[in-house]
Structure 1
Amino acid sequence: MKGRQIILDHLNGREAAALMVDGKLHDFLIDNDAPRPGSIYRAIADRPVKGQGGMFLSTPDGNVFLRQVKGLSPGQPLLVQVTGYAEDGKAIPVTQKVLFKSRYAIVTPDSPGLNVSRSIKDDELRDTLKGIAHGVMQEGDMGLILRSCCTAEEVDEIAEDIASMEDMAAAIMSETTGPAEKLSDGDGPHVLAWREWIEPAEVVTDPGSFDTHGVLDALDDLSNPRVQLSGGAFMYVEPTRALVAVDVNTGRDTSPAASLQANLAAARDLPRQLRMRGLGGQITIDVAPLAKKDRPVFESTLRSALKVDGIETVLVGWTPLGHFELQRKRDRLPFEST
């Protein structure tokens, strides 16, 4: 099926959302039992970790870990926000830089200033959005960022979104004293789909839509480490305890251009595969044989694919063995575990 579809359903009793583009699974979100990224706690400082510049904090959902804790003392309450999922055996990562993020607006406590996304180039629209922001936001220490999806046709929705986020921020940021408590839960898959999948799409909410729209078949493919690429090439995406290994192969094509084409196809599809499979941390790509003069085009293709991916990923570079390494934020749990 051509076009974009956002399919909201449940899988094994868990809320889930799928983004299909031209009949192909482009993204998938599913709820789990771990604290959601974006959750806000009033946590209690527990004990510092010498040598790591961090401190364990106590919350109703267990210990969390905060970096850069200069000036904190055990027993002190503070507001923190979950930034991602914890690795096995480690505490949940949190930050003191709390953000209140919605579809159109991001409210930034303690960071004053009204800003519009740089991707909005139309000066008239930028002026309109700034006027909306000034008309809604109260004077104070809170700042605002208007996101790239804001349009002139959605003035009322934008104003309502700003007001809602500002009210929530004011209420939560005032909860600075008291015992450890969860003050706000992170967004679930259905809200995340509305918030992040902003391009026009058909929204399907009928029960059983995952089955009728081919989502279940696409999810079966995620259980297979082998990923078919264009031109007969393929790659394996296999998580280990230490890292994610990606092995690119040309298949039966033995032409001089086969290796470069296989590597470029892998670079274009790898961000989607990592995103849907919920894989992060250290990623090592064993490319098909690639001449050093072709490395820049591979890096450029991968960088372009990651730019629209939305998950923070650092291109580390080439190793002496000719592997290419990435460092990717863990903002989802592995698909197999959910």
Structure 2
Amino acid sequence: MQQMVVHCERDKTQMALLEDGRLVEFAVERVQGKQLVGGFYKGRVVNVLPGMQAAFVDIGLKKNAFLYVDDVLHPHLEKQPKEKPSIDSLLDVGQELVVQVMKEPFGGKGARVTTHYSLPGRTIVYMPHADYVGVSKKIENETERGRLKVIGDHLRQPGEGLIMRTVAEGASRDAVADDLAHLREQWRRIEQRAETSPAPLEIHHDLSMVERLVRDIFTPQTEELFVDDKEIYGQIVSLLRNMEPLLVPRIRYYKEAEPIFQHFRIQEQLDRAFQRKIWLDNGAYLVLDHTEALTVIDVNTGKYIGNHDLEDTVFAANVEAAEEIARLVRLRDIGGIIIVDFIDMEQEEHRQYIIDRLEQLLKKDRTKCLVVGWTRLGLLEMTRKKVRDHVLYEPCAACRGTGRINT
């Protein structure tokens, strides 16, 4: 059973996704500090660096945005030149261009931007210059993939690109056509504003967090959506009436005296999930440490002693750890390189099972994940696309997490 819970406060809105009562995804949007990813800006090139094959673009933020050469070339790989040109042959200092944010600023780094424009709808992603049709890999039925590919090819105009989203599975041609018409009009307005606006300037931003999540997550598989704010409730109902009217009856306005996050046990699950040391139900535990470049997760048997031989004990602990790790990387929105130090296993079939189980569970993650495999040191390496900093708990302002207490 899947449920969405939206909690609204004066300065922020929080969303939690539950599967059988267990928290698997969490997002927060503050009134100050809206999401930049997906936004379109008219920028001005301020520096071109052939040695880095990149340029810096002023889009009106504190830090100049970073534009890599691959994000300037044609979005269709088959239409790119065989030999990658130098970026100074593609861009000039002072040149104005429209860019889209693909990664939020991190620490001292500016946002990463692209000219491979994309506008997400309910059933499709519209790419005005991509010139191809793709189908979500999460749609596994080959007959359905073929049907959606044919629909996309018939609907798109020359030069346009479409990606049929997972939600498009089973959608009618008319539903996809309506979605495409709306996105084409959105792109026309972006182009129009870009022509008449000075740089640097934001010319389009994506929907609010709640609207995005309703568009991207609220599917027929979601049983209920609870929201504790009447105005946001009205916005969601209005959005769904246009997008998927059959789902409107699943929206619930929560007006009980008990806070909504307490009612669904969300806050206690959040507090537990964001600790450095996390105990598993079987008595084993995980330790998570973050650096700027990667996240390291250590698996320990802890209080778990098993019932049979050592290999079975270790394997059982690792299986439960793998299941919790798949949930935590999604919930904590951990991005970049992730190294997991599982407890050493002797049998190769056990090691392969851990990989297979992780890959199976990570299919539910909307963010791209890749389980690379075991290193020569016996560590499991995986990656998860990093889009934004997920800040729920901040380090102490005095010591920035480096403090120690004398024992």
Q: Which has the higher strand share?
A: 1
CA drift of 1:230 comes to 4.1
Q: What is the deviation of 1:25?
A: 0.7
Paired with 2:158 and 2:299, the residues of 1 have a C-alpha distance of: 53
Secondary structure of the residue aligned to 2:26 is strand
Return closer, same or farther for 1:102/1:243 CA change in 2, 3 Å cut-off: same
Deviations 1:62-81 (A, max 9, x none): 31111115211111112222
Match for residue 274 of structure 1 among 329, 337, 357 = 329
Q: Report the more deviating stretch, 15-24 or 274-283.
A: 274-283
3-state DSSP class of the match of 1:273?
A: helix
**2:362 & 2:323 partners in 1: Cα distance?**
8
Name the structure, 1 or 2, with higher relative contact order (CA <8 Å, separation 6+): 1
For structure 2, list consecutive stretches of 5 or more residues without a partner in the other structure: 73-86, 230-258, 395-407
2: CA distance, partners of 1:220 / 1:78: 44
- Kept in 2: contact 1:284–1:325 (CA 8 A): yes
Check the 8 A contact 1:38/1:187 in 2, yes or no: no
Is the alpha carbon distance of 1:126 and 1:11 closer, same or farther for their aligned partners in structure 2, counting shifts above 3 Å?
farther
Q: Show the 5 A alignment for 1:212-291.
A: 212-255=263-306, 256=310, 257-291=312-346
One-letter amino acid matched to 1:328: R
Verify: 1:106 aligned to 2:106, yes or no: no
Flag the 1:75–1:323 CA change in 2: closer, same or farther, 3 A: same
Q: Identity of counterpart residues, as a percentage?
A: 25
Structure-2 separation of matches of 1:307 and 1:56: 35
1:88-237 mapped onto 2 (5 Å cutoff): 88-114=107-133, 116-117=135-136, 119=139, 121=141, 123=143, 127=147, 130=150, 134=154, 139-150=157-168, 152=170, 157-177=175-195, 178-197=198-217, 198=219, 199-207=221-229, 208-237=259-288
Q: Structure 1 residue 315: deviation in Å?
A: 3.1
Q: TM-score scaled to structure 1, two decimals?
A: 0.87
For 2:193 and 2:40, locate their aligned partners in 1 and report how far apart those are by CA, in whole Å.
11
Seen in structure 2, the aligned counterparts of structure 1 residues 324 and 114 have a Cα distance that, compared at 3 Å, is: closer
Contact 2:116 2:130 in 1 (8 A): no
Structure 1 residue 127 displacement after superposition = 4.4
Following TM superposition, by how much is the alpha carbon of 1:58 offset from its aligned partner in structure 2, in angstroms? Answer: 0.3
Aligned counterpart for 1:307 among listed residues 335, 339, 363: 363
After superposition, the Cα gap between the structure-2 partners of 1:245 and 1:153, relative to the gap in structure 1 and judged at 3 Å, is closer
After superposition, the Cα gap between the structure-2 partners of 1:263 and 1:52, relative to the gap in structure 1 and judged at 3 Å, is farther
User: Could you report, residue by residue, the CA deviation over 1:112-147 in whole angstroms, capped at 9, with x for unpaired residues?
Assistant: 345554626374896488558846x5x343222222
Deviation (angstroms), 1:182 = 0.9
2:106 maps to: 87
Change in Cα spacing, 1:267 to 1:120, as seen in structure 2 (3 Å) is: closer
- Aligned to 1:83, the other structure's residue is in SS state strand
Between the aligned partners of 1:115 and 1:239, the Cα distance in structure 2 is 35
Paired amino acid for 2:224 = E
Point out the more displaced range, 197-206 or 21-30. 197-206
Using the alignment, how far apart are the partners of 1:160 and 1:233 within structure 2? Answer: 51
Change (3 A) 1:115 1:299: closer
Alpha-carbon distance between aligned partners in 2 of 1:202 and 1:156, rounded to the nearest angstrom? 26
Distance 1:7 1:288, change over 3 A: same
CA contact (8 A) 1:116 1:130 kept: no
Q: Tell me the SS of whatever aligns to 2:296.
A: strand
Contact 1:120–1:126, Cα closer than 8 Å, also in 2: no
How many pairs does the alignment contain? Answer: 334
In 1, are the aligned partners of 2:55 and 2:67 still within 8 Å (CA)?
A: yes
CA distances 1:14-38 after superposition (whole Å, capped 9, x unpaired): 1221111111111111114164211
User: Which residue does the alignment assign to 2:91?
Assistant: 72
Can you list the C-alpha shifts for 1:149-200, whole angstroms capped at 9, x where unaligned?
2255766654432221121123224555441211221333212221222333
Q: Is the 8 A contact 1:247 1:286 kept in 2?
A: yes
Instruction: Call closer, same or farther: CA 1:190–1:285 in 2, change over 3 Å.
Output: same
Q: Secondary structure at the match of 1:149?
A: helix
- Which AA in structure 2 matches 1:248? V
| C-alpha separation in 1, matches of 2:170 and 2:366 | 24
User: Is residue 36–residue 187 contact of structure 1 (8 Å, CA) maintained in 2?
Assistant: no
* In 2: Cα distance, 1:27 partner to 1:34 partner: 19
When the two chains are superposed, the root-mean-square deviation of aligned CA atoms in Å is 2.8
Task: Name stretches of at least 5 consecutive residues in structure 1 with no aligned partner.
Answer: none
